[in-house]
Structure 1
Amino acid sequence: MARIKQAAVIGAGVMGAAIAGHLANAGIRTILLDIVPKELTEKEKAKGLTLEDKAVRNRIAQTGKERLLKEKPSPVFHKNIVDRIEVGNLEDDLVKLSEVDWVIEAVIENLSIKQSLFANLEEVWKPGTIVSSNTSGISIHDMVKDRSPEFRSHFLGTHFFNPPRYMKLLEIIPTEDTSESIISDMKAFAESVLGKGVVMAKDTPNFIANRIGVYGLQVTFQKMLEDGLGPDEVDSVTGRAMGRPKSATFRTLDLVGLDTFVHVSDNVRENVDDAEEKKAFEVPALLREMVEKGWLGAKSGQGFFKKVKSEKGKEILVLDPETKEYRPRKKLKAQSLEMAKRAKSLKEQLRTLLYADDTAGRFAWHITKKVLLYSAARIPEIADDIVSIDRAMRWGFNWDLGPFEVWDAIGVEKSVARMKEEGETIPPLVEELLASGAKSFYEQSSEGSKAFHLGGRFQQVEEHPKTIDLARLKEQGKVIKANKGASLIDIGDDVACLEFHSPKNAIAADIIQMINYSVKEVSANYRGLVIGNQGDNFCVGANLMLILMEAQDQNWPELDLVVRQFQNAMGSLRYVDKPVVTAPFNMTLGGGVEVSLPADRLQASSELYMGLVEPGVGLIPGGGGNKELLLRYMDGVDPKDRLSLQSRVNKVFETIAMAKVSTSAVEAREYGFLRREDGITMNQDHLIYDAKQQVLALDAVGYQAPQRKQIPVVGETGYNTLRLGAYGLLQSGYISEHDYKIADKLAYVLAGGTVPEGTLVDEQYLLDIEREAFLSLAGEPKSQQRMQHMLTKNKPLRN
């Protein structure tokens, strides 16, 4: 891993540029190369440029780099990340590839072009440099069959999924010639530095995820036509009801691109020998017709779905497979879908749907059955074990469960019996499982680890050493104390982890109780505390329903008590005599930020959407968030430096008043939520482990709790400055009267009230005026309207 400091990407198309962007995200300086243009653009002609000018010769790569700043969602963590990318071309700059540690080919999917490229590359190749192809299905072996043995030993496939920043899966495809050390080095590097979930795939058509996924899409398409359903009706079944993404089947196809799907399907059909499998990958005539018409999906503006203007504003229409005309969308109505929604677990949900005898149930059963049988029949052709296939589908297609995990969920014996009744051929892998007396593909070992069935026996699932599974630790009896909202778990080495598990991890009294208990328990018996969890998001804030109900009932003493308890709990986190490290990830909003800021360190996931968003619901932070962010900005400032004081307060005010939310951990650092000493973890599976290491490191150097500080405030003068700025926005129409009222309360708190400028105040003083302002806003009818709107519509109200 240590030797990959610089990289190069050849091919600046959508995928190549995005790979370069993600390498840059990981701190790797990257060269992005593409071909030299053969013609000038009109703009270049107008500037008097020629084909010999560097700007022209590097245009394609430069365009790819610039595209990184325009695409949404952004392929890069921050706009400055692209500064790590150098552009060039394959004629002038090929020699630069001798300076890098890893070269990734991402050019057009054409074998002869790739072979020619690697022949040219070997002429400048530095022995020891790793070379890989990002192909989605062309034979890795065939690309370099004519290259030298040493070159081939450093060559492998590295198939990123699009978009590389957000998609977890990386398929690594070695050849028979690839060095074992190269394989292990790349796997470790991809997991720890790039944050990928790595699956080892074989050099077969479309590798693992696309082989299974495209087969499933084909089966679904064919079943839709057979049953006379529409894409919208099918998507009602094949999305969250089946533990798959909301984009389900046909919205996913539109996002991927119908031309891409056809290409991948054709690649399998042309490269497999089995007649039945060839037939399964035949592209339906309707799909080919759509591609010929240019109906490619989202990138062309229409595919199976099409957005149009209507009397209602914008409306999404769906293609009718029979008439080939677009019509209004409709959902498939079935009792099984309604019952599945009420299921308490995904296992129960799948059983409810797949064994139901109605249109949705029969459809879901058929496509699931086909995918399960196909997956089992492809071992060991495309992968050596079921774990690789399950991980590939979870990480590459965002399924909640892989095929064999689904099989366990619906019952292997029961489902196989039904398959046999329906005349299906059961793959040897499955027959072998049942013949051994096993009831499922996976089981928990006596030590609590996960094992999978292979070769007539169970083998332990290999987990990365940096993976700490909180659910498994709880199963092993490592819970120190728990209530409905949170659990304190022993994660080893005398470190405890406080895990939130309330609905949406929202903070209420039960979590506050567990924070207080955790502080006392860790102080007495542990080396330190990690605050983290493995839910969908770290924490979306306080329990807004509770706040609204208390405010509407005008139960101010109770609400004041809850806010005071929250503030006190945050203070205990800051001043406990053992190190505290929070591990925020994904959505970390409002109260989630307030839990994070008092910690000695943050170990944040690179994907961090962090912000104090309370103004969006008519409030300001009430759990110490204003004070904590102010403390960070005031760190090291000279109380006598009036301009610096005001400048820093202005930044805090702007961040909170505008409810700024970071789009990455890098941007969270820019907003002041993360400090320079806080860590960023690329692989979220390693987040709890990395946070634990921070605790141990702080403990090892003789941790001492911080001392309470006096904080310099800008006082009445600064308060008026902040109010004046907000009033200007009000007069210009950028904010509403109620926005101004919220801004006024926030300005008062951040300024420290109306004390003289430069006054030193203690933290409790700031907490008291913060709590008073919070309660005052909670009583405002328009704030209550905002809270109600967020709870019912899940989006902010501007009133």
Structure 2
Amino acid sequence: MWNVRKAAVIGAGVMGAAIAAHLANAGIPCLLLDLEGLAAKGLSRLKMTKPSPLYDPAFITRIRTGDLERDFAEASDCDWIVEAVSERLEVKHAVWKRIDAVWREGMIVSSNTSGLSINEIVSVCGEDCRKSAMVTHFFNPPRYMKLLEIVPARETAPEAVAQMSRFCKERLGKGVVLAKDTPNFIANRIGTFAMLATLRAMEKHGLTVDEVDAVTGPLLGRPKSATFRTLDLVGLDTFLHVCRNVRENVSDPVEAAAFADPPVVERLVAKGWLGEKSGGGFYRKSGSAGGGKSAIETLDPATMAYGPRAKVASPAIEAAKMAKGSAGKLRTLLEASESDRLAAFARDVVEAAICYAADKLGEIADTVIEIDEAMRWGFNWEEGPFETWDSLGVAATAARLEERGRAVPGPVAAMLAKNSETFYIRKAGSMFHYSQGHYKFVEERPDEISLRALKEKGRTVFAGDGANLIDLGDDVACLEFRSPNNAIGPGVLAAIRQAVREVGLNWRGLVLANEGRNFCVGANLMLLLLEAENGEWEEIDLIIRDFQDSMRALRLMPRPVVAAPHRMTLGGGVEACLPADRILFSAETYFGLVETGVGLIPAGGGCMASAALAQERAEAAGLDDVAVPLAKLFETIAMAKVSESGYQAKALGFWRAGDAVLIREESRLAEAKQAVLELDRRGYAVPEANRRIIAGGREAATVMKLGVSAMRRGGYISDHDVRFAGKLADALSGGDVPAGTPVTDRHLLDLEREAFLSLCGEPLTQARMRHMLATGKPLRN
């Protein structure tokens, strides 16, 4: 099996340096080459880039810079060379001639070009080098964007493509699609066409920038950045370059005309208004507005002047917002009245995109899967073009196209002629896709588990109010949260207790995981605020006791528990993970106890679990007391710190022996299942019910409070911050007991619950809760 012991990236620009960073994320030593001084500048830029290209700042030590002239020969020792120089063929030819000179057997070489022909790029190389050459087109930023397009040249060996695909999926966590050597490959080809079609429809219907972005974001199943915010982020000069590359390299004059430079973008570029990188494009920030805060202004393309953003509303938009799910919102919008110009605009935009994708099937990619995955992973569409055809109804959409005088794409007409009406079908949890006249089975990988597919196969053990228990096979079950935002409320807690009883009696162990956008954003804050505003203190006490008892039951279950969090895992989501025997973090896990952001402290066992973690740290470090690790966790919780990756959960103090990070998101459930089985095979020891935790005591609390007082004197925090930080210090340290006193977990749970209740009664805390619910941002009062 081909592996990469060492890699070289040639070109230390924004993309080259970021690719090197992601190789370092995967534990691969990397040589970053550029002209003298440029490689070092690229490395320095990585340290300042936000969000960080690195999972952990320490990983930058895996990258070594070199001079393109003096150190190029060192690339001969690498298993993979990535060329990431400027998008000019003559520049790439000069580099590839040098790559050819250092190529050796077993090496794979690739270009990160976003649209140049790989066959033209490698034309200067010898036959052996050409057999190992391909495009590996990373989307920017490489750490965060899942898509990687692999494009073989005519002579590329199939085994080299297979090796690279496997490596990029498993080691780099990428979503790999195989594209053909056509201009701009798959995602940029369709995405750019869709942008251009949007601009043409905007002009046709007389819409403003604000109106276009109100429609072309989540209502169409696309990112919040919609059209013009996305263009500003990409860079308008870059957008014109992509348009030109297609226009100059396609043979169909009609298609070439569709990629003509939009006049409004040409005018902006001529003025140097390139988008975010130049300070303004279709949007810009004004200096200040009234209260001293900056405001976002919108371009009027007719006058080329900026003005205040306008709120957009229409019956079609309001109806679409009320619909459930991205497919429901899209259908509602497109089926709105013909007289609604925003709906008419949306129909033109969507039809143009899905028809173009269908027309290009077979030319840019062989299957609908590759096109759909490219658009989901590369442009963050909720559904790819062919999934959209299915959601809208292929036959119904084709009929509407004919009614509107538009040609039905050939692949769609051919499918309908065979009495097939969907591009995808699901049967008993298995997926099939339509290809060349019949349906083909979508191969399932043994290291990937889909909860959706298991539920379709009838593997649901029970469906509770807020969570499901699902049979993963081999006597391992998975508890899947499915409440809104996967927030923890009474229904989820009841399901946890039911799962503990069921798994404790009949299963080998339990996985905590789900396939939602985030693992869990915390407890049900709205419920708590309503109870607090009504003075229902006994009810809040019962809610918190219920939370604590459920987490304690999870910890004491006589079977192993493995948590597999991903993305936002906050507050109560963290408290649900900490009772587990092992946590397998997705690389993109943002993990933190954030209750202080709303003027509260963790009370679902978070303080108690943190005190236990401090004891583990002290014992591992051979410390006489828990004061030092406890102070570190106090700072983490008091400041509501959240890890910027799964790896950084360790720096924040939440990591335990046996915990791990998984870069490949698709393997998360399978890896968690195997971890449960491993713990079971070893002979699982039931956790001690009456464990004692060594308290930091009043001495540790005093030290913490002194630090808080110093911050207050410096004006960094408010009086209310001091109030809840003091209660947090007492809850973490065990209250008014001497340092080193063994206390029960029940004692610590009582302290955190009492502090939580008292803070719920504070008007300033309630104001913070209301502000968070209204704005999604913390209030400092």
Q: Secondary structure at the match of 1:271?
A: coil
Quote how far apart the aligned CAs of 1:222 are: 1.6
| 1:54 corresponding residue in structure 2 | none
Is the aligned partner of 1:714 residue 2:696?
A: yes
Going from structure 1 to structure 2, the CA distance change for 1:23 and 1:676 (only over 3 Å counts) comes to farther
Aligned length: 776
Give the Cα–Cα distance (whole angstroms) in 2 for the partners of residues 697 and 727 of structure 1: 47
Q: How far does residue 641 in structure 1 lie from its aligned partner after superposition?
A: 7.8
Distance 2:299 2:324 in 1: 34
Q: CA deviation at 1:463?
A: 4.1
Does residue 774 of structure 1 match 2:752?
no
Q: 1:254 Cα shift?
A: 0.4
- Aligned-pair CA distance for 1:317: 1.5
5 Å matches for 1:318-467? 318-356=298-336, 357=338, 358-445=340-427, 447-467=428-448
Report the residue type matching 1:758 in the other structure: G
Is 1:516–2:497 an aligned residue pair? Answer: yes
Deviating above 4 A after TM superposition, structure 1's stretches of 4 or more consecutive aligned residues are 638-644
Q: 1:530 to 1:728 in 2, by over 3 A?
A: same
Query: Once structures 1 and 2 are overlaid, which stretch shifts more, 416-425 or 550-559?
Result: 550-559
The within-5 A match list for 1:686-765 is: 686-708=667-689, 709-765=691-747
Amino acid at match of 2:604: G
The 1:152–1:759 alpha-carbon spacing in structure 2 relative to 1, beyond 3 Å, is same
Corresponding residue of 2:218: 240
Match of 2:13 in 1: 13
Residues 625, 696 of structure 2: 8 Å contact kept: no
1:12 aligned counterpart, secondary structure? coil
- The question of whether the paired residues in 2 share the 8 Å contact of 1:639 and 1:712 is answered with no
1:261 is the counterpart of 2:225: no
Paired residue type of 2:24:
A
Q: How far apart are residue 716 of structure 1 and its match?
A: 1.8
Is the contact made by 1:528 and 1:578 (CA closer than 8 Å) also made in structure 2?
Answer: yes
Task: Determine the C-alpha separation between the residues in 2 that align with 1:574 and 1:763.
Answer: 12
| Residue pair 1:581, 1:599 contacting (<8 A) in 2 also | yes
- Residue 448 of structure 1: how far off its partner (Å): 2.0
- Cross-structure match for 1:311: 289
C-alpha distance 149-793 of structure 1, shift in aligned 2 (>3 A): same
- Match of 2:226, SS state, is coil
Q: How does 1:467-478 map to 2 (within 5 A)?
A: 467-478=448-459
CA distance in 2: counterparts of 1:632 and 1:719, whole angstroms: 17
Deviation readout 1:738-765 (Å, 9 max, x if unpaired): 1111011111111211112211112111
Q: Do the aligned residues in 2 keep the contact of 1:669 with 1:676 (CA within 8 Å)?
A: no
Whether the aligned pair in 1 keeps the contact of 2:611 and 2:733 (CA below 8 Å) is no
Alpha-carbon distance in 2 for matches of 1:262, 1:526: 58
Task: Say if 2:258 is the partner of 1:276.
Answer: no
| CA–CA distance in structure 1, aligned partners of residues 559 and 639 of structure 2 | 35
Looking at structure 2, the residues matched to 561 and 546 of structure 1 have their Cα atoms a distance apart, in angstroms, of 13
Q: Which amino acid counterpart does residue 372 of structure 1 have in structure 2?
A: I
1: CA distance between counterparts of 2:687 and 2:470? 25
Change (3 A) 1:599 1:789: same
Within the alignment, does 1:564 sit opposite 2:545 as a pair?
yes
Give the drift of 1:117.
0.9
- Matched residue of 1:371: which SS? helix
C-alpha separation between the residues in 2 aligned to 1:454 and 1:181?
A: 24
The answer to whether the 8 A contact 1:536-1:586 is kept is: yes
Instruction: Tell me if 1:601 matches 2:582.
Output: yes
Kindly report which structure 2 residues correspond to 1:611-690, keeping only aligned pairs within 5 A, or say none: 611-635=592-616, 637=618, 644-690=625-671
In 2: Cα distance, 1:782 partner to 1:146 partner:
69
249-258 or 218-227, which moves further after superposition? 218-227
Cα deviation, 1:485-537, whole Å, max 9, x if unaligned, reads 10000011211000001111111111111111111111111111000111111
Secondary structure of the residue that 1:68 maps to in structure 2?
Answer: helix
**Structure 1 contact 334–359 (Cα < 8 Å) conserved:** no
Partners of 1:243 and 1:634 in 2: how far apart? 47
Q: CA 1:274–1:636 in 2, change beyond 3 Å: closer, same or farther?
A: closer
Q: Deviation of residue 644 (structure 1)?
A: 4.6
Quote the offset at 1:661 in angstroms: 0.7
Secondary structure in 1 aligned to 2:342?
Answer: helix
Counterpart CA distance in 1 for 2:227 and 2:619 is 59
Q: CA separation in 2, counterparts of 1:526 and 1:401?
A: 36
Q: Choose 196-205 or 646-655, whichever is displaced more.
A: 646-655
Residues in 2 aligned to 1:95 and 1:676: alpha-carbon distance in whole angstroms: 42
Q: 1:470-619 maps to which residues of 2 (within 5 A)?
A: 470-619=451-600
1:596-634 superposed Cα distances (whole Å, 9 cap, x missing partner): 011010011101111111111111100111111221221
Supply the distance in 2 between the matched residues of 1:463 and 1:160 (Cα, whole angstroms). Answer: 25
Whether contact under 8 Å (1:642, 1:758) holds in the other structure is no
For residue 554 of structure 1, what is the amino acid of its counterpart? G
Structure 2 gaps, min length 5? none
Distance 1:336 1:639 in 2: 61
Aligned residues of 1:133 and 1:159 also touching (Cα < 8 A): yes
Percent identity (aligned): 50
The SS at the match of 1:530 is strand
Aligned partners of 2:734, 2:552: CA distance in 1, in Å? 19
Which whole-Å CA distance do the structure 2 matches of 1:254 and 1:676 have between them?
Answer: 45
One-letter code aligned to 2:607: N
Distance, in Å, in 2 between the alignment partners of 1:454 and 1:170 is 23
Structure 1: segments with no counterpart, 5+ residues = 36-56
CA contact (8 A) 2:299 2:305 kept: yes
Is this contact kept in 2: 1:640–1:758, CA < 8 A?
Answer: no
Query: Which letter does structure 2 place at the counterpart of 1:318?
Result: T
Q: Is the 8 A contact 2:2 2:163 kept in 1?
A: no
Question: RMSD in angstroms over aligned alpha carbons?
Answer: 1.6
Instruction: After superposition, give the CA deviation of every residue in 1:346-384 in whole Å (9 maximum; x if it has no partner).
Output: 222212111221111111111111111111111111010
